[in-house]
A and B are shown apart, each in its own frame.
Chain A
Amino acid sequence: MNAQNQRETERLQKTGVRVQNEISRELEALRGRPDHMPGYDYFIDLLAGGIRPDVLEKRAGKPALNLLCVQAPLELIHAAGFLPFKIFSGSYAADALGADGRLPALTCPMLRAVRGIFRLNDSFSGRPWVLPTTCDWIVNLPRMLRMDNPQFAKWFHWLELPHLKDGDAARERWLAEVFGLKKFLEKTTGVKIDRKRLAASVAVYGRAWEALTRLEERRRAGAVPFVWFLIIANSFFLDAPEQWTNAVNALLPALRGNENKNRVFFAGSPVFFPNFKIPLLLEEAGLTVTGDDLCSSGRVFPGGINAEASSEYEMVAVLAGRYHEGCLCPTFADNDRRINSILGDAGNFEGVVFHVLKGCHPYDMESCLLEEPITRRGLKFLRLETDYTAEDGRNLLTRIEAFGQTL
């Protein structure tokens, strides 16, 4: 038994080193890129500091609350005195650790990696975790984690996400859920989330969204390579949002437009640091990403909150509405207008690259639904199915290069 424990400890230590190596390698490569600018260093440093809630707490001096997905209103969490910390991992070593014979063969790599980082360190414990019931993987995640540690179940607060967005009934159910979250946060912190606190938090995220939107505009002009855009968006949850906003605003004037050729829109499964395989391959093949609607990038938080309605109830209702109706997650049943987020921007690109993480069923299914309307508009469509491994890189590159020639 002892020998088994020791083997397990050694395995965890080795994986920890491997994860750290992956991160260091990527960061090193980023710093050495010819398009690196001093303005990017803030974001690199955030990622270098560790994607852990305890690091965020130390940096920003506020307690962190664990999150997954993009439907829990950040403003509400912020108003309660928490800093929302979105758990993510793009680490292949963590993915390998999270995978074992008990999970289905085609498990979402991102969820496996999350399981891996949970096994690697306990910094995620001891703080509440808010989980919206989005995809089948997410709804089973707590039970998956409980296989490793029965204590995990204690910290979850479910947000039951109505998978319909249209209609009063679904909206009312979601609003009740968001009020439930408010109650949970108030109970956890002892802080009453009143309209003053809400207004202040909405303003904080309003400024952050303005910065993100300006960054998107610069990207549309070819001034922000996709890799750097991802670095900035991925680090959104690693510092207080005010600091992140200041850093983006400081960076904006330095971003100059470049020649924009082979412009593509990037959609599909999220891309998380340090797994930048696909963005780097796109770059290598000479494609420029002028827009994306990934939940880890362009949709990292919804923004666009109109908080003029200043009673407490109305502010919560506005937040609930924006985070629900405005969400394009493929787990929604009435998601027919999701295509418009791509086609609405169609003047800015010639093709769409759709990323599917093997095992990410919602996006896998969505890729079939979107291909036809996209090609009907005269745009090229490339579906790339992959996972966190590096082995398929050359094959993917060949396909991407061939796709680039059709643009």
Chain B
Amino acid sequence: MALTVTSLRTVTQYLSFIVFMYGGRFGVKLGSAIPCFACPYVRGCGGQCYLMGLQGVFGVGMSFEAMRGAPLAAALGWLLVFIILVAALGKTWCGWLCPFGLFQDWFSLLRRKLGVRERILTEKTKRALAPIKYILLAYLLVLPPLVTAKILHQDFNLPFCNICPGKSLLPLFEGNPQYLALNLSNAVTLTFSALLLIVTGVMLIGIFFKDRFFCVFCPLLALIHLAKPLTFLRLSKNVDVCTGCGNCRRVCIMDIAEVSAERGGPDVQTGECLDCARCAESCTANGALSLKWLRFNLFSSSRLYASRNLSRNTAGASKNAGSAGKS
């Protein structure tokens, strides 16, 4: 396998999957502020998704008085860790490290293998769906304090985890299907578990037909995007070099139009961008798209790189389609 951005990303994704899904079994414990779906419902996980940490600041049996002091310091400490991790790696947490991201990518691979067409969301639909991840973020921030304040039933604890398809699907990788069952304890648990099943079903269909469908709704992506001013990683565009060929938009797993359409300035890291760098990799204009960490240039688009890489990819695609060289 040639060293390309994509091959590096793929290797990173698999390593990250192993670490975050199974790391705990080997003594790896990376804390409770991981900015990706390192799902704590997976027994033996190597770190915990910060969304649970964020919701778990509050919770059952807690009171606002009792939270002062050490618990508050711990919560602020994890927030700081989260901010440092996001500042250091930006949305590579989504594009390169998230185990649930890799899980979704498997469905995309399967779809391609079967030759099924991807359903691209129209700009109008994308605009309509974009706020949902912020609504979900608000939902997971607002409900837990209400549980602590005993306004809501204790089973409203961890409200996002209760409907997160990561909770139902990722534990399957350690042979645990229990979150796919209905929880009949009471009306709240039954509602949440039924909702989780529905969300899981919709997402499974969604991620088969559309790359990274879940990421469109991910509140963690929203949270990382809100922290964008603090991040060191930038996807930047030299608009004076871009001829607008649209390669970047066509390879974007989130179908971001701005990366090609932008004519004004260097910022093309939109709310949906996952920093996967596929756009820069397939860009045929020298230096039009760059991935930068502070002032360090990690990767810049190059015509020669693109020609080599696309030539290899298309040869691979042709081989997969079963007719390499027979033309």
Contacts and interface: CB of A to CB of B under 8 A. Distances in A.
B324 to A, nearest CB: 7
B307 A200 contact: no
Interface stretch (B48-56, B109-117, B153-161): B109-117
Contacts of B261: 166
A63 interface: no
Contact of B321 (A195, A207, A216): A195
A311 B118 contact: yes
B257 to A, nearest CB: 9
Interface residues of B, number: 48
Interface string B120-152: 001100000000000000000000000000000
Contact of B247 (A79, A202, A322): A322
A303 B307 contact: yes
Interface in B271-327: 282, 284-288, 303-304, 306-308, 310-311, 313-315, 317-318, 320-327
Contacts of A306: 247, 250-251, 282, 310, 313-314
Nearest to B303: A213
A307 B312 CA distance: 10
A306 B307 CA distance: 10
Contact of A203 (B115, B284, B308, B317): B317
B244 interface: yes
B314 A307 contact: yes
B321 A206 contact: no
Contact of B317 (A202, A217, A313, A340): A202
Nearest to B325: A200
A200 B243 contact: no
B321 A337 contact: no
B184 interface: no
B242 interface: yes
B317 A308 contact: yes
B321 A199 contact: yes
- Residue among B113, B260, B320, B327 with most chain A CB within 10 A: B327
A161 B240 CA distance: 26
Contacts of A196: 318, 321-323
Nearest to A337: B244
B244 A166 contact: yes
A78 interface: yes
B118 A203 contact: no
Interface string A305-317: 1111111111001
B245 interface: yes
B246 interface: yes
Nearest to B116: A311
B287 to A, nearest CB: 8
Contacts of A120: none
A252 to B, nearest CB: 12
Nearest to A338: B243
A318 interface: yes
A210 B308 contact: yes
B73 interface: no
A308 B117 contact: no
Interface string B226-251: 00000000000000111111110011
B318 A202 contact: yes
B263 interface: yes
A313 B314 contact: no
Interface in B90-120: 111-113, 115-118
Contacts of A79: 327
A344 B321 contact: no
A201 B311 contact: no
A358 interface: no
A317 B303 CA distance: 22
A203 B315 contact: yes
B18 to A, nearest CB: 25
Contacts of B308: 210
Contacts of A341: 243, 285
Given A308-B112, A311-B115, A337 B263 contact: yes
A325 interface: yes
A168 B127 CA distance: 15
Contact of A206 (B123, B243, B246, B314): B314
Contacts of B285: 340-341, 344
B311 A210 contact: yes
A314 B245 contact: no
B115 A310 contact: yes
Nearest to A293: B243
B247 A200 contact: no
6 contacts: A200-B318, A203-B315, A306-B250, A322-B245, A337-B243, A344-B241
Given A200-B326, A302-B245, A340-B242, 6 more contacts: A196-B322, A209-B311, A210-B310, A307-B318, A311-B117, A341-B285
Interface of A: 78-79, 165-166, 168, 195-197, 199-204, 206-207, 209-210, 212-214, 216-217, 242, 302-314, 317-318, 321-322, 325-326, 328, 336-338, 340-341, 343-345
Counting from the closest, the 8 A-B pairs by CB-CB distance are A326-B245, A213-B307, A203-B318, A206-B314, A344-B241, A325-B246, A199-B321, A210-B311
